[in-house]
A and B are shown apart, each in its own frame.
Chain A
Amino acid sequence: MPPSVAADPASAVADGGSGGAPYAVETRGLTKVFGKQRAVDGIDLRVPSGSVYGFLGPNGSGKTTTIRMLMGLVAPTSGDHDILGRPMPAELTSALHRVGSLIEGPAFHPYLTGLANLRRLDAADARSEARSSAARINAALERVGLEPAANKRFRAYSLGMKQRLAIAAALLAPRDLLVLDEPTNGLDPQGTREVRHLVAGLAADGITVLISSHLLAEIQQICTHVGVMSAGKLVAQGGIDDLRASQTAQLTVHTPDPTDALQVLRRAGVARLAADGEVVTGEPGRLAPERLVADLVTAGVRVQRFGIDRPSLEDLYVSLTGEGFEVRQ
């Protein structure tokens, strides 16, 4: 069961970011039906401005379709959304001009060089200045560390270089929002770390980042917010600390005086207490552990071991999306 706090996006999203729209991305009942399949089923995505939003979910849960709808590539069956406070697709051009994106892996003309590919994309942008083109392209290549390979044909690039070129393309113009769909897909651990580092750097510059992945561990460290998709639905969304706090913590006390310990802890407000020999367990909720220890010791309970374990986000993610092997009906 999804935790109730996390299932309510409004309560979980605390900080809205400053200036402009509170949400860089906001969707209302966004739905896409392919034939009989509801690929995306009425999701209310809210990406606070200035956040790094981890968009999680197993393969096939609807992440990419959602991102394609956000970027105006696929028309929603119902629902609508704003990008950077502008309604889509009515103001698509002015909204997307401030958005850099990487969607379902890099795609470039194989027989053109990396540089020529970037030139083409920059030329396609009606709003980008011709005069600053070369400087902006160089800056983007420098940012991803691809300058030495700029004049190599795209087809000769390694997977990691292709990925980096795609990120460079996303950085050709000044951006307020980056939408990165599986940017670490197919990369080795080294490459994954590089991408993570790059994203963290961009976020530090104040760019809102929406980053999707089917692996929580890959993006956990850099995210401030998380949304979890499962079978087309957004099953959890919120600030990463709120989500973590919503997870039920488990208290374990090893003591030769289990009866006294039970009494003290019950008075302190610990729920679901149980004793098994010399081990007392319970759910402390938001009680401060140091207070519980003090209470126990003051009451003369001999404490051998005291611990509070919080399930990791990974556990939450797995509990929301399943272990990945079962087939959804």
Chain B
Amino acid sequence: MRFLLSELRLIAGRRRNQAGLLVLIAMPVLLAVAVRLTEDNPRGGGPPGFIDQIVGNGVFVAFAALTFEITIFFPLAISMISGDAIAGEAHSGTLRYLLTVPAGRVRVLIVKYLGIVAGSVVAALSVAIVGAAVGAAIFGTGPLLTLSGTQIPLGTGLGRLALSALYVALGLCALGAVGLFLSTLTEQPIAATVALMVVTSAMWVLDAIPQLSALHPWLLVDRWPAFADLMRDPADYAAVTEGILVDLGYIVVFLLAAWARFAGKDITS
């Protein structure tokens, strides 16, 4: 427990993680201000999303921000944290001292992964909370217009926003498990970070090629944007449930891979 607290303090204390979180929560603010400034422009014809609803209800800033950040900003943040997890300690040489304490290899992996989980949850919730707050301040709030065209009360809407943020966080946890595995392969944290970004981008690309539709259900990112279905009336949980199963599958597979790799690895750094 003390070890986990120490790990969380270490992650939270790093300047670049603090800067990363600032960038993440700057997005909804930017979004809200941009929509406010262009309120009079003609709309429609743009990509589907929550942008058009923002003027009607500020809470949609949060949904729109989650949708935008899920493609690149969230994965980048998780890449940074998870790439650093093992490779960062190996690079600075502190890994050998952790292991001779002895902290236990499995224990180190667990604590490192819980740190990534905490980072994922904090990232997703921060964006949701800041988005809802800034949106409400600029555009006001009230009952939410669902994608189905009906209205749901504000309380229900906020509940669905919380669910959406947690769903996004779970997806990031799954990505973090891949990152943790990559981090056990190298002593260069930047290599693990870049590798995870390459993996993420490749999955988005593959997901966009219709000819590969057979592959899509197995891609981690395929159902990431599915939280939008929660804003239907009634909420549609089908795609989200599938997404959760895929996330859990990735978590199990890659945590096992990380363990298999790390448990017997020669630490020569």
Contact = CB atoms under 8 A, between A and B. Distances in A.
Interface in B1-57: 2-3, 5-6, 10, 13-15
A68 B266 CA distance: 9
A107 interface: yes
A75 B108 CA distance: 18
Contacts of B260: none
Contact of B103 (A105, A107, A126): A126
B238 interface: no
Contact of A73 (B13, B94, B100): B100
B100 A99 contact: yes
B267 A68 contact: yes
A169 B94 CA distance: 12
B102 A109 contact: no
B101 A96 contact: yes
A109 B89 CA distance: 9
A120 B2 CA distance: 9
A110 B96 contact: no
A134 interface: no
A121 interface: yes
A321 interface: no
B143 to A, nearest CB: 48
Contact of B5 (A74, A103, A123): A123
A51 interface: no
B241 interface: no
A73 B267 contact: yes
Contact of A109 (B2, B10, B264): B10
B96 A121 contact: no
A121 B14 contact: no
A124 B101 contact: yes
Given A101-B100, A121-B101, A123-B3, A74 B266 contact: yes
A124 B6 contact: yes
A289 B103 CA distance: 57
B256 interface: no
A110 B92 contact: yes
A119 B3 CA distance: 10
Interface of B: 2-3, 5-6, 10, 13-15, 92-94, 96-104, 107-108, 264, 266-268
A71 B107 contact: no
A92 B101 CA distance: 10
Nearest to B88: A109
B101 to A, nearest CB: 5
Contacts, number: 81
Interface in A37-87: 68, 71-75
A120 B10 contact: yes
B100 A97 contact: no
Interface string A94-108: 001101010111011
Contact of A71 (B13, B14, B94, B100): B100
B99 to A, nearest CB: 6
A308 interface: no
B8 to A, nearest CB: 11
Interface string A127-150: 000100100000000000000000
Interface string A173-204: 00000000000000000000000000000000
A111 interface: yes
Nearest to B14: A111
Contact of A125 (B15, B96, B101, B266): B101
A259 interface: no
Contact of B97 (A121, A130, A133): A121
Given A96-B100, A125-B101, A126-B104, 18 more contacts: A68-B96, A68-B268, A71-B100, A73-B268, A75-B264, A75-B266, A93-B102, A97-B102, A107-B93, A109-B92, A111-B13, A121-B97, A124-B3, A124-B98, A124-B101, A125-B102, A125-B103, A126-B107
A107 B3 contact: no
15 contacts: A68-B266, A71-B96, A74-B266, A101-B100, A104-B93, A104-B96, A108-B92, A110-B92, A121-B97, A123-B6, A124-B3, A124-B6, A124-B101, A126-B104, A169-B97
A124 B93 contact: no
5 closest A-B pairs by beta carbon, nearest first, are: A107-B93, A123-B2, A124-B103, A123-B6, A96-B102
